[in-house]
Structure 1
Amino acid sequence: MLRKFLQSSVQATRRAFAWNLQDLSPPAEQVLFKFATTKDVSQWDVYSDAVYGGLSTATLKPSENNGEAGVFSGTLSIELDDRAPLRLKKSGFTGMRTAEEKHNLDLEPYDTLAFKVKGDGRVYISSLRTENWVMGPVDAKFNQWQAFLFAPKDEWCTVKIPLNRFLPTWRGKILNVNHEMNLARITGLGISTTVEVGPEEAVTGPGEFRLELEWIKAIKSES
């Protein structure tokens, strides 16, 4: 009787230890954002050059045709509003970015961002904002990291961008600095596009744009 009790206790301890190890190990993937509902998309702010006197427009809404997706769409324009108090050297840009920075994302266990999207032939830019422990959050110069996001036109696919592909930028220009992204302190995500972004085979220039999104995940690559 005592022997059976001891054996059962040892087996229970082993199972509990195995469960604790699984709890300590992060999952292979983590859903960061979904876009299916009004509540989902309310976590994002939409912006455009209209704030500075441009005429581009953009919205982010749940899709009427796909209950699992949201639609980031609008019009890119290179025209300027003559009545605007501010003047731009260049217009034709718009984007969406997470609205609140109350919760930091810890992406250190992961090496890739994955996007379930349907594109329109344009190239988009994925952005990460970080809280830098060395320079401090007020030094925005080193807190923006960007990588290209391109999906085939009118076709759902999962686009994977390794986190080491994100480069430090300042006002759209890549910085030539030896600076490492602080993956443990991601303070925000963004997606944007402009009239100029993209290789020759991509859609560029003024006109309508449309990007459908189901989710954004952080994943560990199989390699």
Structure 2
Amino acid sequence: MYRFLTSNICAPSIWSRRINFPVVVPSSSFHEIRKNGYEDKNRKKVSPRQAIRDGLKELKKEIKNWTEEVKEGCTLDPIMGMPLPGEVDMQWCFNESIDFDHWVVTSDSDHNEGYSTSTLSVSPTGKGLFSGNLSTQLVRDGKVKKAGYCNFKSIRPQKSFKRDSFHNWSGYTHLVMRVRGDGRSYMITLGTAGYFDVNWNDQFHFALYTRGGPHWQISKIPFSKFYMTSRGRIQDMQEPMPLNRITSFGITASDKNNGPFRLEIDYVGLELDPSHKETSAYEQYKVPYFYAGY
């Protein structure tokens, strides 16, 4: 899609008339390319010939992924694939063989909005280690009003040929994590980006409380306890989490306490508890339309 910008036509004169023809400008110059609102400054420009070569290599890879998807769909047993009550199904295991390309680590300093830093690495015990330094110091640009956050999250699952997909957790009731923290409080974030752009920033959150010391802890959190936000704002109209459309999992450090933080993660799993019947822990109130405007 292109938009046309027509320059002003100069006033006619006795000797000549100068006309500037329309200039074609890509629509990306007017709209955000990425859904998170930040431009990808690390993207490298390549020649058309190199782009064709890279595209052919990517095509072979995607055809292979599509073949594996077809084989998996033909051999899938719907009965054996159902979750068993009381058993934890591992979704992500953090160990020495973890692929860091499947995770994105960011902080306010990456966008020139603060001075916090963070990394995701392997701890000396062979587990995942989310660590860094949290700083609430503001950048003196007159725009940033709050600072001090570090987070990491998983990339969105994809099918072959770069088709967006989802994690289907509809058969589970609890999120289970085995972690070892430093006494700080963290925030668990589950992304549920939908098809329409109004839903791209919908997320569900719940706190992860850790205790300091050498012992590991197992946190078992019902999905019904997660509350919905949009662009970081808690919504008045809460709704149950769409467990069949999970796009990402992440943890954020933003407790406004300056200093280093450290969180070790063993695994992130899912569990089914048949006795848990709650769908949403937050009450919904129906009021007249002229009270709230909706």
Is residue 126 of structure 1 aligned with residue 188 of structure 2? yes
**1:86-125 equivalence runs, <5 A:** 87-102=143-158, 103-125=165-187
Q: 1:25 Cα deviation (Å)?
A: 2.9
Q: 1:119 Cα deviation (Å)?
A: 0.7
d(CA) in 2 for partners of 1:22, 1:97: 31
The alpha-carbon distance between structure 1 residues 107 and 77, as it changes in their structure 2 partners (threshold 3 A), is same
Q: Which has the higher contact order (CA 8 A, sep 6+)?
A: 1
Can you give the 5+ residue segments of structure 2 that lack an aligned partner in the other structure?
Answer: 1-76, 159-164, 276-294
Amino acid at match of 2:263: L
* Length-normalised TM-score, structure 1: 0.77
Amino acid at match of 2:138: L
Q: For structure 1, which segment, 166-175 or 112-121, has the greater mean C-alpha deviation from structure 2 after superposition?
A: 166-175
Counterpart of 1:128 in 2: which secondary structure? strand
1:71–1:210 CA contact under 8 A, matched in 2:
yes
Q: 1:184 Cα deviation (Å)?
A: 0.7
Q: For structure 1, which segment, 31-40 or 42-51, has the greater mean C-alpha deviation from structure 2 after superposition?
A: 31-40
Counterpart of 1:39 in 2: which secondary structure? coil
Larger of the two Rg values belongs to structure: 2
**1:63-212 equivalence runs, <5 A:** 63=123, 65-67=124-126, 69-82=127-140, 87-102=143-158, 103-132=165-194, 136-140=195-199, 143-154=202-213, 155-196=215-256, 205-212=257-264
d(CA) in 1 for partners of 2:95, 2:81: 30
d(CA) in 2 for partners of 1:24, 1:189: 22
C-alpha RMSD of matched pairs (Å):
2.2
d(CA) in 1 for partners of 2:178, 2:101: 19
Q: For residues 67-111 of structure 1, give each alpha carbon's deviation from its aligned partner in whole angstroms, at most 9, with x where no partner exists.
A: 2x11000000112344xx784101011100112332421111100
* Length-normalised TM-score, structure 2: 0.59
The alpha-carbon distance between structure 1 residues 214 and 41, as it changes in their structure 2 partners (threshold 3 A), is farther
Q: 1:26 Cα deviation (Å)?
A: 2.6
Q: 1:151 Cα deviation (Å)?
A: 1.7
Q: 1:35 Cα deviation (Å)?
A: 1.3
d(CA) in 2 for partners of 1:86, 1:53: 11
Q: Percent identity?
A: 31
The alpha-carbon distance between structure 1 residues 21 and 59, as it changes in their structure 2 partners (threshold 3 A), is closer
In terms of fraction of residues, the more strand-rich structure is 1
Number of positions where the alignment pairs a residue of Structure 1 with one of Structure 2: 189
1:125–1:191 CA contact under 8 A, matched in 2:
yes
The alpha-carbon distance between structure 1 residues 38 and 25, as it changes in their structure 2 partners (threshold 3 A), is closer
Q: For residues 16-55 of structure 1, give each alpha carbon's deviation from its aligned partner in whole angstroms, at most 9, with x where no partner exists.
A: xxxx784253344321111113534332111111113300
